[in-house]
């Protein structure tokens, strides 16, 4: 987005993102919709049935841990050396 907009004040259209990313339009539309829902992008186009005019929203969060790192797993949690501990 920053590459296309030059700064956060210049809106970007979905078409520009499709051309730049070389992703399928449907895939990119789904990703943009989720980013808007989460607040990472803002659609400033308020007329219905018009192409999105996208601006950068909230900054992305720092790395989020989805699964615990292997070193955090302990035998007391049922794991030992990456394998299930014997019952």
Domain contains 63:
no
Question: Confidence class of residue 87 from pLDDT cuts 50, 70 and 90?
Answer: very low
Per-residue confidence (pLDDT) for residue 26, from 0 to 100: 94
Q: What is the pTM of this model?
A: 0.62
The angle subtended at Cα 14 by Cα 9 and Cα 18, nearest 5°, is 120
87 lies in a domain? no
- Summarised one tens digit per residue, pLDDT across range 29-85 is 999 999 999 998 999 999 989 989 999 888 877 766 666 677 776 644 555 555 555
Question: Do residues 2 and 44 make contact, with C-beta atoms less than 8 angstroms apart?
Answer: no
What range defines the domain where residue 48 resides?
2-56
Is 62 contained in some domain?
no
- The answer to whether residue 78 sits within a structural domain is no
The reply to whether 69 falls in a domain is no
């Amino acid at each position: 987005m920053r590459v296309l907009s030059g700064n956060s004040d210049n809106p970007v259209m979905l078409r520009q993102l499709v051309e730049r990313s070389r992703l399928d339009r449907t895939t990119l539309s789904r990703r943009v919709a989720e980013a808007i829902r989460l607040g990472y992008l803002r659609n400033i186009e308020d007329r219905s049935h018009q192409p999105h005019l996208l601006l950068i929203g909230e900054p992305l969060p720092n790395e989020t841990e989805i699964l615990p790192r292997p070193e955090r797993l302990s035998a007391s949690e049922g794991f030992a050396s990456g394998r299930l501990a014997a019952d």
